[in-house]
Amino acid sequence: MAHCGIASRRKAEEYIRNGMVKVNGEVVTKMGAIVSEADKVEFNGKPVSIEKNKVYIMLNKPREYVTTMHDPQGRKTVMDLIRNLNERVYPVGRLDYDTSGLLLLTNDGELAYRMTHPSYEIIKVYIAVVRGYPSQETIRRLESGIEIDSYVTAPAHVNVIKQYENKTKLEITIHEGRNRQVRRMCEAAGHPVIMLKRIKLGCLALNGLKSGQWRFLTKHEIKKLKGMM
């Protein structure tokens, strides 16, 4: 009831004690009874809708963490980094074990669906350090669409940031989210990825968030995210 904005926790307990709350038609006076979304809860004769407290988190994922909830191989998962959070959240999309950077986690299923569905074309910006010095022609191929496993990628944006020690640092913007897409694009172009980090997802940017740290999105960020879709 406190989650649904009906009353403070203390007040809710008082209402329950006074027999004002029914679950599936039965008055409940026991504190801490657990209800699920399938249960019919009534307060003072009126139905209460069980709204989950929506939580939105930005994590700067370090390398060598998986973005699944559990790993059969026993590797560290991003859930290990957000241990002391009360709500259960899930990663939106995925980053490879060796990729670092911006990962969104939430319990808002609708937003997660929209962020990952290809039709919404959410942009993702990566910093990729690749082997060698890609030519202008190679950059153009990466931008206009390159064949990876008999599929041609959608147009992308590629900026060369700097070249050094037989490596090139690129900023790559895509709006698809195929498995290992950036690595496969660069590999197909003849310049394998040495380091990959996501710095932006839609209107969200990693900015100064340190590796392994997380923070709640601001109200403004949530509003902008929802407005994009």
Residue span binding ligand URA (CB under 6 A) among the ranges 14-22, 84-92, 176-184, 221-229 = 176-184
Instruction: Scan for tokens 């990959």, then name that residue.
Output: 196
Size of the site for ligand URA (CB under 6 A): 8
Return the residue of 60, 99, 106, 153 that touches ligand URA, per CB under 6 A: 99
Residue span binding ligand URA (CB under 6 A) among the ranges 16-24, 58-66, 95-103, 199-207 = 95-103
Return the residue of 95, 130, 139, 170 that touches ligand URA, per CB under 6 A: 95
Q: In whole angstroms, give the CA distance from residue 3 to residue 7.
A: 8
What single string gives the DSSP state of each residue in 55-121? -EEEEEEPSS-BSSS--TT---BGGGGGTT-SS--EESS---TT-EEEEEEES-HHHHHHHH-GGG-
Q: In whole angstroms, give the CA distance from residue 26 to residue 40.
A: 10
Report in angstroms how near the CB of residue 196 gets to ligand URA at its nearest: 6
Q: In whole angstroms, give the CA distance from residue 12 to residue 105.
A: 30
108 is catalytic: no
Return the residue of 20, 180, 203, 212 that touches ligand URA, per CB under 6 A: 180
Residue span binding ligand URA (CB under 6 A) among the ranges 102-110, 137-145, 174-182, 212-220 = 174-182
Tell me the residue type at 21: V
Report in angstroms how near the CB of residue 67 gets to ligand URA at its nearest: 8
Report in angstroms how near the CB of residue 155 gets to ligand URA at its nearest: 16
Neighbours of 216 (CB within 10 A): 12
From the candidates 39, 71, 80, 96, give the one annotated as an active-site residue. 96
Active site residues: 96
